[in-house]
Amino acid sequence: MSTAGPAAASDQGPRAQRALEAAALALAGIALAVLVVRLVRRVDSLHAATIAGIALLAGYLLADFVSGLVHWFCDRFFEENTPIVGRLFIAPFREHHRDPLAMTRHDSLELLGNSALGMLPILAAAWWCGDSLFADGLTIAFATASIAANRFHAWAHTTDVSRTVQWLQGHRLVLPPRHHARHHRGSYTSHYCMTTGWMNACTDGLGVFTALERALRALGMPATSA
Ligand SMILES: [Zn+2]
Ligand SMILES: [Zn+2]
C-alpha cells in the first residue's frame, strides 16, 4: 500500500503512470461517493448517526496510524537500492529527508494518485461486502485521509498555504507544520504519523515503533544503514 508516502521525487513521471494514477483517482472518487451516499441513506436515527460518527473518527485515526507505520518502516528498513522495494517505496521517503520541499513542487496527481491506487482494493472490498454502517464509515474516513495524506504532508512543508488550510492545521484536523517539523529534526526517529499527527502521542509515548523495530531487527529484517 502506498498510503502516506511522499510522492516519488521524479519529475512528471511517465505518461502511462500518470494515466493510471488519474484513472485510480477517478475510480476512488466514484467509490467514495457511492459509499457516502450509502452511509447517508443508512443514517436514519440518532443511534445510527452515533455509530457513523464513531466509525468516521476511527477511520481518521487509523489512517494517521497507518501513515506512521508505513513511514516508520520505509525510514528504518532497507535501502534505496534494495531490489524492487527500494525504488518504489524506500527512495521517496529518503529523498524527502534530503529535500523536504521537493514534494511541494509536485502536482495533485503526483501527490494523490499513488495512494488512490493503493486504496482501490479496500474501497472495492467495502463496496462489495458492505452491509455494515460502521465498516462504511471506517472505510470512507480511512481511504479519504490516506489518499489525502501526501497533500496534508506537502501543506506542512509549504509556507504560503491558504487561510482554509491554516485553519485546518491550526485545529489539527490536518498535519500541523510545527508538529511535523519535529520529525525532520535530528535523526528522524519520532513523529512518523503524518495525516493529522494525532497518533504520534500514542506511538511515540508508548514506544510502539521502537518496540516493533527491535522485534523486526531481532528477526533479521535488514535495517537501514542511514
Ligand atoms: Zn521520515
Ligand atoms: Zn516531511
Looking at residue 3, its pLDDT comes to 45
C-alpha span between 66 and 142 (Å, rounded): 9
Cα-to-centroid distance, 75 and ligand 1 (Å): 5
Per-residue pLDDT of the chain in tens (226 residues, 90 and over written 9)? 344 466 554 555 588 989 999 999 999 999 999 999 999 999 999 999 999 999 999 999 999 999 999 999 999 999 999 998 898 889 999 999 999 999 999 999 999 999 999 999 999 999 998 789 999 999 999 999 999 999 999 999 999 999 999 999 999 999 999 999 999 997 899 999 999 999 999 999 999 999 999 999 999 988 887 6
Q: Which three cell numbers stand for residue 61?
A: 485515526
CA distance 15 to 80: 23
Cα separation, 110 vs 97, whole angstroms: 18
Residue 74, all three cell numbers? 520505509
Cell digits of residue 119: 486504496
- Distance (angstroms) between ligand 1 centre and the Cα of 73 equals 9
Cβ neighbours for 39, distance < 8 A, ≥ 6 positions apart? 52, 133, 136, 137, 140
90 alpha carbon, distance to own chain's centre: 15
Residue-level pLDDT at 7 = 55
Q: What is each CA distance from 190 to 32, 71, 202, 222, in whole angstroms?
A: 32, 10, 11, 20
The closest ligand to the CA of 186 turns out to be 1
Ligand (nearest to CA of 71): 1
Q: In a 3-state reduction of DSSP, which class is residue 198?
A: coil
Closest residue by Cα to residue 67 from 93, 31, 28: 93
Q: Residue ranges per domain, the chain?
A: 15-218
Ligand that lies nearest to the alpha carbon of residue 155, given by its number in the listed order:
2
Residue 111 to residues 18, 71, 127, 153, 208, Cα–Cα distance (Å): 11, 15, 25, 9, 27
84-127 confidence digits (pLDDT tens) = 889 888 999 999 999 999 999 999 999 999 999 999 999 999 99
What is the pTM (predicted TM-score) of this model?
0.90
